[in-house]
Chain A
Amino acid sequence: MHVYRFDPKLDGSPRRVTYLVPYWPKMRVLEALRVIHETHEPLAFRSCCRAKLCGSCAMTLNGEPGLACEVEASDDMVIEPLAGFPVLKDLIVDFGGVQSNLDSLQLQPTRHRCFNLKPKSISLDAIEQMKKFSCCVWCQVCNSACPSFRNAPGEFAGPSLFTQLARIAADPRDNASRQEQAHSLGLFNCVGCFRCEEVCPYDIPILEEAIERFREKCFNVKLNPRHTEVFLRLVRDGGLIDSSRLFLKTRGYPSISELPWAFQLLSRGKASILAKKGIQSANQIRRIFEAQRMFTN
């Protein structure tokens, strides 16, 4: 097994060390790490429950984020710290950034309306909805796979935060405006790639049931980027999206520095200054929008 080693106090740069580890059927990566730690040399890694319940042993296994206690060990495996987070030592990373974001969300049920002190049951539907997200073990595997979080953690707080927020938003005892918090976490910088759902050890529908439902709620209170509304109006008016119209109506005319690029697109026929004709039956689309009470003006 090839393991990433780095001690910032001793090493100038990270190194990869190869260890021979005896294999037994269904051996997990975590067990292999314990063998290395106990029989080869001390190795820094986090683990606790060994049963996929605590989420502490998240790391990058053969290039894919996952839990070391869940993923089966294999020959020639490359084990690295969880990508997207600063390395503290060997396989231990710093979760300080996401943790402070989480702390700022005040995720306890918050009532803005006066509680009348009478017990009130929580519906089974609400419990089912909360359960979809309450199985999150805060392992950060989703954040590690997320391209928006990896490239701009300051602009997109990461899927794990939205999962936590969706859990409390589904709680009927909570009256706080969670969609505003979601918006401030960079909700519309999610690219919708489904990587978070693909790697989640608990198959939580993070994009479709947490992030996109917050988008719907934000749209209801007009907390959406201009782009969303332009997109909808273009479909309503012509049935199809004309890329050039979408660009101009969202971004405005290209800046001076963008002009060479814009002329190149015009010369290749990739962009057009003339509005494209929509489909002939665009009136049908308008009627569908009207039936949904969307943009009836």
Chain B
Amino acid sequence: MRYAYYPGCAAKSSCLELDVATKAVASELGIDLVELSEASCCGAREISSVRPRLALTLNARTFALAEKLSPTILTICSTCQLTMSQANDVLKSDRRTLAEVNETLSNIGLRYGGGVEVKHLLNVLEEDYGFNRLAEKIKVSLDNLNVAAFYGCHLLRPARSRRNKTAKPHGPMETLIETLGGRVVDGSGGKVCCGFPVLLTNEQLAVKMSGDYLKRLKDDGTDCIVTPCPLCHISFDMYQGKVESALDVKIDLVVLHLSQLIGLGLGLNARQLMTNRNVVSAEALLKRIGL
């Protein structure tokens, strides 16, 4: 199993632990990741909303680089997944646009043939690797931890771009958590937004959005949140202190990246998963499951 690995911007800066944990998990599972180290930012909705053609070209460049390595790009961010799969859909379905974009790419010696697929790690594990096969590798049970499964909006919506109907009550995240021995917190799936897109432009609004969700989870007895999106992780983990100040309440809720949670189940240690980089300390949680 060989994938062109696209870590995205967050996993290469503020969420470096996600990049490290993903590589450790992939190595443990025998998944071969070839990193797209020269790929650019996908543009997120920030660029695709104000300059759609620019976003399309940037992503076509990434696809052209990936095409030489593997037919599948593996992403680890919900927003990268949506932005890239939408761009890919346009390029694959509209030959004229693909030709125009390729004309721009020809100036830098690249060409995209329309032959890659973009898949999030969660979907790779569900469809290509298989949760049953993953279950055989589990060394540490999550000991009935109450885990909130927060997909991130862009892995769930819009429905017309969704590869899987992940919005159903029991999606791949829920199955994965149960495979690892955890208990899924009811209604934690993600009809709410973490507020990340307005974090730098309207922090008060963003903190209110994430705060309401974090407080509800805390009141429901949640032990930790797991998310397949580093942007949601930033909102919930890095800004949790600000939420506590705004709501004047102690939340202290551990937020794990999807790769970190899987890594715990595989018996990887805190150093391999870089859990010491998480702002809300995961130390007590790790002790509880015997790591």
A contact residues vs B (CB 8 Å cutoff): 63-64, 145, 147-148, 151-152, 155, 188-195, 197-198, 207-208, 212, 215-216, 219, 224-225, 227-228, 231-232, 235, 239-244, 246-247, 250-251, 261, 264-265, 268-272, 276, 279-281, 284-285, 287-289, 291-292, 294
Contacts and interface: CB of A to CB of B under 8 A. Distances in A.
Given A151-B208, A189-B202, A208 B158 contact: yes
Max chain B CB contacts within 10 Å: which of A145, A219, A241? A241
Given A194-B157, A243-B234, A279-B39, A189 B279 contact: no
A271 B14 contact: yes
A232 B47 contact: yes
Max chain A CB contacts within 10 Å: which of B57, B105, B110, B197? B197
A289 B205 CA distance: 32
A155 to B, nearest CB: 6
A192 B51 CA distance: 16
Q: Return the 6 tightest CB-CB contacts between A and B, nearest first.
A: A194-B157, A212-B49, A219-B50, A241-B9, A193-B153, A243-B14
A148 B194 CA distance: 11
B279 A231 contact: no
A292 B197 contact: no
A155 B201 CA distance: 12
Given A242-B13, A270-B277, A152 B205 contact: yes
A241 B13 contact: yes
A250 to B, nearest CB: 5
Interface SS majority for chain B: helix
Interface residues of B, number: 61
B277 to A, nearest CB: 6
Given A188-B201, A208-B158, A292 B57 contact: yes
Contacts of A270: 14-15, 238, 277, 279
Nearest to B231: A243
13 contacts: A145-B191, A152-B202, A191-B193, A195-B153, A198-B158, A219-B50, A240-B13, A251-B200, A268-B276, A270-B279, A284-B108, A285-B58, A294-B54
